[in-house]
Amino acid sequence: MNQGIVRHTRVFTAPRELVFRCMLTPEHLTQFWGPGGMSAPLDGITVDPRPGGAFETVMVADDGTNRYTMRAVFDEILEPERIGWTELESGLRSVSTFTDLGDGRTEVTIEQSNMPAAFLTPEAQAGFRTSLDKLETYLRTLLAASA
């Protein structure tokens, strides 16, 4: 049974356009997508960033024991402000909003609705936050490389 709305907000020290691009580019997504202990190989990521376009990822446990495929369709793309997609299997809807804070920082708010009960557990939510941690680390690496 699907239920619940969850909202995550994180401020990244990176320009909005870069954070937005990271969320839609397979070469970036492979660097951080998925919770700690999992990776998303580049050859398992499909992104067609337009309403009705496919968004698919395959996440693989670091120890090779589990694989999780997520298949979704983009509902909206408003560059560089908003990305919305709906998972085909679960019906989970995710909307990410990117706010330029005007000082080189970007606030990202991710609102997920129609959440399956298993995704609402404290463990699942903690796992989701680790993917934001991975994004934060990746953005720092990108910015340091371009400095």
CATH of the domain at 109: 3.30.530.20
- Nearest residue to 49 via CA among 15, 23, 12: 23
- Between residues 62 and 1, the one the model is more confident about: 62
> What region, left, alpha or beta, does residue 91 occupy, with left being phi > 0 and alpha being psi -120 to 50 degrees?
left
Residues 101 and 67: their CA atoms lie apart, in Å, by: 37
How are beta strands 82-87 and 67-78 bridged, if at all?
antiparallel
- In the structure, what pLDDT confidence band is assigned to residue 120 with cuts at 50, 70 and 90? confident
What is the domain range of residue 81? Answer: 2-146
- In the structure, what pLDDT confidence band is assigned to residue 117 with cuts at 50, 70 and 90? confident
Count how many domains the chain has: 1
Q: Is the pLDDT of residue 110 over 60?
A: yes
- In the structure, what pLDDT confidence band is assigned to residue 3 with cuts at 50, 70 and 90? low
pTM to 2 decimals? 0.92
Q: Which residue type is seen at 55?
A: F
